[in-house]
Structure 1
Amino acid sequence: MKITYDKEFDNIFDELVARGYYEQSTNEAELKDLLKNEKVKFYCGFDATADSLTVGHLIQIMVMIRMQNYGHKPVALLGGGTTLIGDPSGRSDMRKVMTVETIDHNAECFYKQFQRFLDFSDGEATMLNNKEWLLKLKFVDFLRDVGSEFLVNEMLKKDAYKNRMAAGGLTFFEFSYMLLQSYDFLHMYRENDVILEIGGSDQWSNIIGGADLIKKKENGKAYGMTFSLLTTADGVKMGKSQKGAVWLDENKTSPYEMFQYMRNVDDRDVEKFLLQLTFLPTEECKKLGSATDAKDINFAKETLAYEVVKLVHGEDKAKEARDAARALFSGKGDESAMPTTTIDKEDLPTGLLALMTKIGLTKSNGEARRIVQQGGVSINDTKITDPSFEVNEEIFEDNKIIIKKGKKNFHKVELN
Structure 2
Amino acid sequence: MHLIEELSWRGLIQDISTGTTELLQKEVVKGYIGFDPTADSLHIGSLLPLLLLVHLQRSGHHPVAVVGGATGRIGDPSGKSAERTLLDETSLQHNLSSIRQQIEHILKQSGKPYTIVNNDEWFREMKFIDFARDIGKHITVNYMMAKESVKKRMEAGLSFTEFSYQLMQAYDFYYLFTHYDCKLQMGGADQWGNITTGIELIRKLTGKEAYAFTCPLLTRSDGSKFGKSESGENIWLDPQKTSPYQFYQFWINLADADAEKMIKIFTFLSQQEINELIQKHRAHPEERVLQKRLAEEITRFLHGEEGYEQAIQTTQKLFGKKDFSIPDESELKTMEGVERISIPFPDQDVELITLLAEKTSIFPSRGEVRRMIQNGGLYLNKQKVSDVTKIIHREDLLYGKYLLIQKGKKHHYLIEFK
Normalising by the residue count of structure 2, what TM-score does the alignment of the two structures yield? 0.84
Residue 55 (1) aligns with residue 47 (2)? no
Alignment match of 1:304 (pick from 285, 289, 294): 294
Q: Which residue of 1 aligns with 2:337?
A: 339
Alpha carbons 1:53, 1:247 under 8 Å: kept = yes
Gaps of 5+ in 2: 348-353
Cα separation, partners in 2 of 1:155 and 1:284, compared to 1, 3 Å: same
Residue 203 (1) aligns with residue 185 (2)? no
Secondary structure of 2:237 counterpart? coil
How far is the alpha carbon of 1:385 from its aligned partner? Answer: 11
Farther off after superposition, 348-357 or 112-121: 348-357
Q: Which residue of 2 aligns with 1:23?
A: 14
Alpha carbons 2:186, 2:212 under 8 Å: kept = yes
The one-letter code of the counterpart of 2:288 is: N
Structure number, greater radius of gyration? 2
How far is the alpha carbon of 1:76 from its aligned partner? Answer: 0.7
Q: Distance in 1 between matches of 2:371 and 2:189?
A: 40
Q: Which residue of 1 aligns with 2:271?
A: 282
Residue 324 (1) aligns with residue 326 (2)? no
How far is the alpha carbon of 1:93 from its aligned partner? Answer: 1.0
Alpha carbons 2:71, 2:169 under 8 Å: kept = yes
Q: Which residue of 2 aligns with 1:181?
A: 169
How far is the alpha carbon of 1:190 from its aligned partner? Answer: 1.4
Alignment match of 1:171 (pick from 156, 159, 162): 159
Normalising by the residue count of structure 1, what TM-score does the alignment of the two structures yield? 0.84
Alignment match of 2:106 (pick from 117, 140, 164): 117
Gaps of 5+ in 1: 1-8
Q: Distance in 2 between matches of 1:322 and 1:405?
A: 20
Alpha carbons 1:59, 1:229 under 8 Å: kept = no
Cα separation, partners in 2 of 1:131 and 1:262, compared to 1, 3 Å: same
Q: Which residue of 2 aligns with 1:397?
A: 398
Alpha carbons 2:263, 2:294 under 8 Å: kept = yes
Residue 248 (1) aligns with residue 237 (2)? yes
The one-letter code of the counterpart of 1:410 is: H
Q: CA RMSD in A?
A: 3.3
- The 5 Å alignment of 1:126-145 reads 126-145=115-134
How far is the alpha carbon of 1:141 from its aligned partner? Answer: 1.6
Q: Distance in 1 between matches of 2:12 and 2:271?
A: 13
Alignment match of 2:258 (pick from 259, 269, 277): 269
Cα separation, partners in 2 of 1:377 and 1:296, compared to 1, 3 Å: closer
- Paired residues in the alignment total 395
Alpha carbons 1:26, 1:224 under 8 Å: kept = yes
Alpha carbons 2:31, 2:184 under 8 Å: kept = yes
Q: Distance in 2 between matches of 1:207 and 1:130?
A: 15
Q: Which residue of 2 aligns with 1:409?
A: 411
Q: Distance in 1 between matches of 2:106 and 2:82?
A: 32
Q: Distance in 1 between matches of 2:6 and 2:101?
A: 28
Cα separation, partners in 2 of 1:378 and 1:135, compared to 1, 3 Å: farther
How far is the alpha carbon of 1:53 from its aligned partner? Answer: 0.9
Cα separation, partners in 2 of 1:122 and 1:247, compared to 1, 3 Å: closer
The one-letter code of the counterpart of 2:408 is: G
Cα separation, partners in 2 of 1:355 and 1:189, compared to 1, 3 Å: farther
Secondary structure of 2:288 counterpart? helix
Alpha carbons 1:22, 1:228 under 8 Å: kept = yes
Secondary structure of 1:199 counterpart? strand
C-alpha offsets along residues 340-396 of structure 1, whole Å, 9 cap, x if unaligned? Answer: 455666699997579987xxx9xxx86x9996575266543455999xx99998864
Alpha carbons 2:341, 2:413 under 8 Å: kept = no
Alpha carbons 1:146, 1:183 under 8 Å: kept = yes
How far is the alpha carbon of 1:49 from its aligned partner? Answer: 0.5
How far is the alpha carbon of 1:85 from its aligned partner? Answer: 1.2
The one-letter code of the counterpart of 1:338 is: E
Q: Which residue of 2 aligns with 1:3?
A: none
Alpha carbons 1:90, 1:159 under 8 Å: kept = no
How far is the alpha carbon of 1:150 from its aligned partner? Answer: 2.0
Q: Distance in 1 between matches of 2:358 and 2:27?
A: 59
Alignment match of 1:98 (pick from 87, 90, 104): 87
Secondary structure of 1:402 counterpart? strand
Q: Which residue of 2 aligns with 1:42?
A: 31
How far is the alpha carbon of 1:409 from its aligned partner? Answer: 3.4
Cα separation, partners in 2 of 1:316 and 1:142, compared to 1, 3 Å: same
Q: Which residue of 1 aligns with 2:68?
A: 79
C-alpha offsets along residues 70-98 of structure 1, whole Å, 9 cap, x if unaligned? Answer: 11111111011111111111111111111
Q: Distance in 1 between matches of 2:134 and 2:366?
A: 60
Q: Distance in 2 between matches of 1:196 and 1:352?
A: 57
Q: Which residue of 1 aligns with 2:351?
A: none
The one-letter code of the counterpart of 1:16 is: L
Q: Distance in 1 between matches of 2:150 and 2:269?
A: 38
Q: Distance in 2 between matches of 1:347 and 1:103?
A: 45
Q: Distance in 2 between matches of 1:189 and 1:38?
A: 15
Secondary structure of 1:203 counterpart? helix
Q: Distance in 1 between matches of 2:417 and 2:56?
A: 48
